[in-house]
Chain A
């Protein structure tokens, strides 16, 4: 059993993604809205990519398409060359609100996805779940109820829950937007740490440019109406990065003014 556990925890699956000419429309009360307009993008194995843009720019829609929760109207998303047709265990999503299940305790939540992973005994699953709780520093709270946790702790548990089935790709949809600044800063450090330890491909959606620069290897800038990728910025600052670092601030400044340019042109 110990060996199998080792095997499970020491496997570092990762995948590359390609988005090819994806379009997606939504019908709203004021007519159709083009959420994604001919979006193409390649993401390498083990890359940490941040999608940035104002609301309505389609960044969350693209994330949902990659997750398999939504289907593109045309074009396709491929994982390691295979088209994505629905949700799958190779891609886990961490949502913006805490989507933890209040009827389960902390460990129960982490076990939820694991229970649906075949080839493991329940005992092994429990050990795996404990490992991931330890990784996000929540092992002391395994039997706490969700409502007893702070916002930051909840998002740590949500992170453990999405890491536990050992997906190739981790999709994070504005996971820290509801947290206070102090908690967020601590989580920036932790998420970089997890990325280095688990070597996953991570796509991180945010509207906070600083956050994106702090976390990503690459920042992909979206603009709305219609949702398009405007520009991409590689970020080669040394890790672990601190959000208050000067170089980081300079780069975010640059990206923010680019963003402003696109949205100003849009509103004219």
Chain B
């Protein structure tokens, strides 16, 4: 409880300081804003922007479009990454080829793919999906491979003596045994996917749908910094929510079962 109070107080003070410095309390006789609203808008205009555009449905619609891109791209990345990671763990030749490729491309921020994606796919959904997949795939692949390689061989031996064939062992022993690694890879993949999609949406305008990142881009074009900051808040909120809803329960379960980790 004390820790929660600490967090809440901290953020309240942060916003309060922001409000004071940007003149939100000028009507109470406090000083006017230190900066022009084009540099740093007060929290009230940001809140106003978020409220109005949520009420008129623009933000919910763009979030729907963005999340759809994110989910589809992420799922494709997972569906490709997990089996490829398993292959790379199992076969040396896959490790030496695809594994090396993954290692190299993982070091490349996936926004670097945007120029090529635009040439290859045009300004379409496919271009955005491609960038998201490039963000997800490699880290999922590598952590799946790493997880499978770290499974103690005794598990597979024990399973064999109990009658498991190779496929049964793979699905019911090696895969669950590497779950802690796979889940942390999925989490990292999600973070990369989210970052790369935002970068791509800011970078590329796609007529098929106006995503949240594009609002940020037009906020900049129109010098509406309250819009830019509002969208930044939304991006943070989505990232946090995904973490809490998707990954925290899975991680908590893993920690409980394995007896690892925190607190």
Residues of chain A touching chain B, judged by Cβ–Cβ distance below 8 Å, are: 67-69, 87-89, 91-93, 95, 97, 99, 101-105, 112-113, 116-117, 145-148, 161, 165
Contact = CB atoms under 8 A, between A and B. Distances in A.
Nearest to B178: A103
B39 interface: no
Nearest to B253: A103
B161 A92 contact: yes
Given A101-B173, A101-B176, A103-B179, A67 B258 contact: no
Nearest to A92: B161
Interface size class of B (residues with CB under 8 A): 20 to 34
Given A93-B157, A101-B155, A161-B162, 9 more contacts: A92-B161, A92-B162, A97-B154, A101-B177, A102-B177, A112-B162, A117-B163, A145-B259, A148-B259
Nearest to B260: A147
Most B Cβ at <10 Å: residue of A92, A99, A148: A99
A88 B163 contact: yes
Interface in B121-161: 154-155, 157-161
Interface of B: 154-155, 157-164, 168, 172-173, 176-177, 179, 256-260
A69 B159 CA distance: 11
A129 to B, nearest CB: 13
Nearest to A148: B259
Contacts of B158: 93, 95, 99, 101
23 contacts: A87-B163, A88-B163, A91-B161, A92-B161, A92-B162, A95-B157, A97-B154, A99-B155, A99-B157, A101-B158, A102-B177, A102-B257, A103-B177, A103-B179, A103-B257, A104-B176, A112-B159, A113-B162, A113-B163, A145-B256, A146-B259, A147-B257, A161-B162
A147 B259 contact: yes
Contact of B160 (A87, A101, A105, A147): A87
